[in-house]
């Protein structure tokens, strides 16, 4: 888990001072080591930096760039192969290939064994070297064999090509731009902005989207919050031809909806259980200690309990709790920690330094932070670092692949209706009634499918709302007639990309690697295509996970029917703090975004202060 940056020009000489400044900005992503590669068509030289181990026997980067027009920068968080052999940029095949990798290839040992049988030799125990050998053997399709999270750039000296790839779900970020005949890429927007001397403009399309949706839609397309910078989409490769200064982007993976033959329930329960076990087995591979986030909900509890029973892991767990609030899950956290004999650590946030912490989190997130869950996650990652745990498992993605949100139940009802399965609607009426889903509300759900119109999260004027509606990027439960289609959009476009963005930035801000067992691509493909009738038990969601984990979970977790999610009491604290509310409203009224005349300030509600304040502060902090 690391930070990467690269720049390639057809004529400009590498600016060493700028390169070192970017390295400092990315240090939080990799404090254990830093490395550089300077190159052109005829030569290349590797260097270390001030944060590199003293034992690393390569020269330190100096002020003389020579005639090099290309550069790779790597900040390392050491997780696998802690020795100097894991240093990056790393070379292979006599210096033909050089790579900078952010992420982990969890099945690297299996791939390595296959390559050894083909005659390949290795000089390290890292997954990074395996990536280069795999590329030499299979070319660009090698990424289809990888099970993991990654964003990497591989320089092929012979072909004068840079091959870049991003993992299937975009767990790891990859941003790029072409500016002044330079191809520039980085793990974070700030690295590219720094190289461009902050000559970037905020993307008004994304501002409009935020005001209407209450958050940014991270996965809909290549656009970012800055007009000049794009993201390489998940499941895509980018190949840059240095000689011709051209790049080509190709998709190598897509989540396909291909409903499997309808088996009985036990088939799906056992299939899920085996895939989930193997996913956790792979994600426990590490040369440092692995801990886990633990909210007390079904998802994170399943990870901790299965890891304990199947792999004999007594882990450090980290939880954000809110004593005395409706969001307090501490008793459920205790059930899991007691059962698994885990070393539980909990943290609670109080409001003394809200404004300063808000800006700090947003500097790392590089987007307006839409809600207080960012704070809870930040606190958990910070606590993990304080206890020296560099790797955490997390339950992200379970709701999206296993129908965990209430909206999926709405879509299921619509799916039943469109397939004329009225008997199933009738037989489930009692369970749905217990969840306040009466026949009247069911009729309302079906009626909503006819309208297909977005309402605004903030008080935006009608003209701008109509512009957004014309783009038809709603991602709402009522716009789907088939549950897997809704799941696919949540996984690839709306919910999950935003959650993964937050996860990466909050964890890496504290030099912590977050691993997500529910996003093993084999598990995702299996779960999304399970027939909907097997996923719901009346109104009770995540039936497959619940039954598969029954033998592992405390009964208090197995029988939980409430869903709190990663909520906090911070918004309530803001409502009760009049002076803080006034500070936030004042910042909103002075913000540059009001010049767009998109918001009716007189209609701003107290519950909207957090989101609009975040937007105002984002524009102030990141404006050029």
* Active site residue ranges: 2
Tokens matching residue 592: 């540059």
Locus of tokens 């939080």: 28
Rounded Cα–Cα distance for residues 491 and 235 (Å)? 12
Query: How many other C-beta atoms lie within 10 A of the C-beta of residue 3?
Result: 28
Q: What is the 3-state secondary structure (H, E, C) of 153-177?
A: EEEECCCCEEEEEECCCCCCCCEEE
Yes or no: say if 524 and 305 are a contact pair by the CB < 8 Å rule. no
Rounded to whole angstroms, the Cα distance separating 487 from 522 reads 15
Q: Is the peptide bond before 182 cis (omega within 30 degrees of 0)?
A: no
Q: Compute the distance between CA of residue 397 and CA of residue 416 in angstroms, rounded to an integer.
A: 25
Q: Residue 174: name the closest of 6, 15, 38, 30 by CA.
A: 6
- Which distant-in-sequence residues (6+ apart) come within 8 Å of 278 by Cβ? 520, 522
Strands 316-320 and 290-293 turn out to be parallel
H-run or E-run covering 2: strand 2-9
Task: Write out the two tokens for 165.
Answer: 């790839």
Task: Select from 243, 242, 310, 315 the least CA-distant residue to 280.
Answer: 310
Q: How many CB atoms lie within 10 A of CB 436?
A: 9
User: How many Cα atoms are found within 13 Å in the side-chain-facing hemisphere of 322?
Assistant: 20
d(CA 493, CA 213): 13
Beta carbons within 8 Å of 531's beta carbon, 6+ residues apart = 259, 260, 262
How far apart are alpha carbons 3 and 25 in whole angstroms? 10
β-bridge mates for residue 97, sequence order: 92, 156
Q: What is the largest CA-CA distance in the chain?
A: 77
Instruction: Give CA–CA dist 142/149, Å, rounded.
Output: 14
Q: Do the bridges between strand 391-393 and strand 290-293 make them parallel or antiparallel, or are there none, so unpaired?
A: parallel
Secondary element (H or E) of residue 488: helix 483-492
């Amino acid at each position: 888990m690391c930070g990467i940056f690269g720049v390639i020009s057809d004529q400009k000489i590498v600016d060493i001072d700028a390169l070192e400044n970017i390295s400092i900005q990315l240090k939080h992503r990799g404090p254990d080591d830093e490395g550089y590669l300077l190159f052109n068509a005829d030569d290349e030289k590797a260097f270390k930096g001030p944060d590199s181990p003293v034992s690393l026997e390569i020269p330190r980067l100096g002020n003389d760039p020579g005639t090099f027009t290309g550069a790779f920068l790597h900040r390392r968080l050491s997780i696998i192969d802690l020795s100097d052999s894991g240093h990056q940029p790393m070379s292979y095949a006599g210096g033909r290939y050089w790579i900078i990798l952010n992420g982990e290839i969890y099945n690297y040992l299996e791939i390595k064994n296959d390559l050894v049988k083909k005659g390949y030799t290795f000089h390290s125990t890292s997954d990074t070297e395996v990536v280069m050998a795999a590329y030499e053997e299979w070319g660009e399709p090698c990424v289809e064999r990888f099970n993991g999270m990654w964003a990497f750039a591989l320089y092929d000296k012979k072909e004068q090509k840079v091959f870049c790839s991003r993992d299937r779900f975009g767990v790891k970020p990859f941003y790029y731009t072409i500016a002044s005949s330079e191809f520039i890429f980085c793990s974070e927007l700030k690295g590219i902005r720094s190289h461009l001397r902050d000559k970037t403009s905020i993307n008004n399309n994304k501002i409009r989207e935020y005001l209407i949706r209450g958050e940014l839609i991270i996965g809909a397309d290549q656009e970012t919050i800055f007009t000049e910078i794009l993201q390489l989409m998940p499941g895509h490769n980018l190949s840059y031809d240095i000689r011709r200064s051209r790049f080509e982007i190709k998709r190598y993976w897509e989540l396909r909806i291909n409903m499997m033959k309808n088996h009985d329930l036990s088939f799906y329960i056992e299939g899920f259980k085996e895939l989930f076990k193997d996913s956790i087995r792979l994600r426990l591979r590490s040369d440092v200690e692995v801990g886990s986030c633990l909210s007390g909900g079904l998802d994170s509890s399943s990870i901790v309990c299965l890891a304990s029973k199947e792999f004999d892991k007594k882990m450090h767990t980290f939880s954000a709790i809110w004593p005395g609030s409706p969001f307090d899950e501490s008793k459920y956290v205790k059930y899991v920690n007691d059962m698994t004999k885990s070393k539980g650590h909990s943290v609670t946030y109080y409001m003394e330094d809200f404004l300063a912490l808000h800006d700090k989190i947003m500097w790392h997130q590089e987007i307006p932070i839409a809600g207080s869950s960012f704070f809870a996650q930040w606190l958990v990652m910070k606590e993990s670092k304080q206890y020296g745990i560099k790797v955490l498992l997390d339950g992200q993605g379970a709701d999206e692949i296993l129908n965990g949100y209430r909206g999926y139940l709405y879509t299921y009802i619509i799916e039943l209706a469109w397939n004329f399965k009225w008997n199933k609607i009738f037989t489930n009426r009692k369970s749905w009634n217990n969840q306040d889903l009466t026949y009247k509300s069911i009729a309302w759900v079906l009626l909503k499918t006819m309208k297909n119109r977005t309402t605004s999260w903030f008080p935006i004027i009608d003209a701008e709302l109509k512009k957004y509606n014309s783009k038809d990027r709603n991602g709402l439960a009522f716009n789907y007639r088939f549950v897997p289609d809704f799941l696919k959009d949540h996984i690839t476009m709306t919910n999950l990309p935003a959650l993964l963005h937050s996860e990466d930035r909050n964890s890496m801000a504290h030099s912590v690697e977050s691993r997500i067992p529910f996003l093993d691509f084999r598990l995702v493909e299996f779960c999304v295509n399970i027939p909907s009738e097997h996923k719901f038990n009346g109104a009770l969601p995540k039936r497959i996970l619940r039954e598969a984990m029954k033998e592992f979970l405390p009964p208090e977790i197995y029988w939980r029917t409430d869903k709190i999610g990663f909520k906090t009491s911070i918004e309530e604290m803001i409502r009760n703090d009049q002076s803080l509310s006034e500070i936030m409203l004042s910042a909103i009224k002075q913000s540059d975004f009001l010049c767009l005349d998109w918001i009716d300030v007189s209609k701003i509600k107290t519950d909207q202060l957090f989101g609009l304040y975040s937007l105002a502060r984002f524009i102030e902090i990141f404006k050029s």
